[in-house]
Structure 1
């Protein structure tokens, strides 16, 4: 019996989960990136650069995402209260309401995916993934020709 292709299993299930999240968020007019920015900008002042790092977005993608959030009235760029040289992404009241809705949607999609596993397997699966993400697979290995990362 051959060993299962771990790369394929993780990549395929991650891709399918992302498509389900994207489709569900599209129903309320958000993209996964917009959800990510709202969710991370809401609890505290964060700059565009900080949010881009948290959401694994390049500068151009981040600018386009924040532009879309501003046009929708969900966020705005403004000077930081603590450092006038820094500009932060502030979530508007409507943005906070939308962030709560999008969090519910993402949580529901994740719960639906996990519900396909029996209870005992679900707990072991999550514990194993958390252990891998925090341990052996926590940090990418540097190489002369980096592997292409799957789109988020």
Structure 2
């Protein structure tokens, strides 16, 4: 007969946050299907509109590996939402430039993202919404306890993404 697992005295934040993140990501992906782009594509377009940025800079901001970034920009170019152009300051670097159609996608996408987040927060009682959002921001903002990954001898795998 197996021994009983030890009793936990603190809520399992890892499991709760991972589950919430996954469910929110699925809701966001379903909502973005409305405008035929992915949340990842929206993220790249959004940050490319903020400032002139290279693919490498955008990959870092969006937390994408190099291969995924190339595929994402390829998809954006094919859809007519962005184009690569040489950097004025570094001939080796490519700037991701958002097209007018891409600008429209970002405007629509921002409304969709706000709607998905508003819906999630609306599921909480009114008095808890601001408290939850403020506490989460305090945890993940610069200097917060969950703002920066720590080094570990054993690497942490990213969550598995479902195949289409």
Question: Taking structure 2 as the reference length, what is the TM-score of the superposition?
Answer: 0.88
**Residue of structure 2 equivalent to 1:103:** 110
- Map residues 8-23 of structure 1 onto 2, 5 A cutoff: 8-23=15-30
Q: 1:150 to 1:139 in 2, by over 3 A?
A: same
Runs ≥4 residues deviating over 4 A: none
Tell me the distance in 1 between the aligned counterparts of 2:136 and 2:157. 21
Kindly indicate whether residue 99 of structure 2 is the aligned counterpart of residue 92 of structure 1.
yes
- Larger gyration radius, structure 1 or structure 2: 2
- Map residues 67-146 of structure 1 onto 2, 5 A cutoff: 67-80=74-87, 82-85=88-91, 86-134=93-141, 135-146=144-155
Tell me the distance in 2 between the aligned counterparts of 1:94 and 1:151. 31
Q: Deviations over 1:24-74 (max 9, x none)?
A: 101211011100110000121100000000000001100000000000000
Moved more, 67-76 or 124-133: 124-133
Aligned Cα root-mean-square deviation (Å): 1.4
TM-superposed CA distance for 1:150, in Å, is 2.6
Tell me the distance in 1 between the aligned counterparts of 2:126 and 2:55. 39
Tell me the distance in 1 between the aligned counterparts of 2:148 and 2:75. 31
Tell me the distance in 1 between the aligned counterparts of 2:79 and 2:122. 34
Higher relative contact order (CA 8 A, sep 6+): 1
SS of the counterpart of 1:50? Answer: helix
Tell me the distance in 1 between the aligned counterparts of 2:160 and 2:37. 17
SS of the counterpart of 1:89? Answer: strand
Question: Taking structure 1 as the reference length, what is the TM-score of the superposition?
Answer: 0.94
Aligned residue-pair number? 151
TM-superposed CA distance for 1:119, in Å, is 1.9
SS of the counterpart of 1:129? Answer: helix
SS of the counterpart of 1:76? Answer: strand
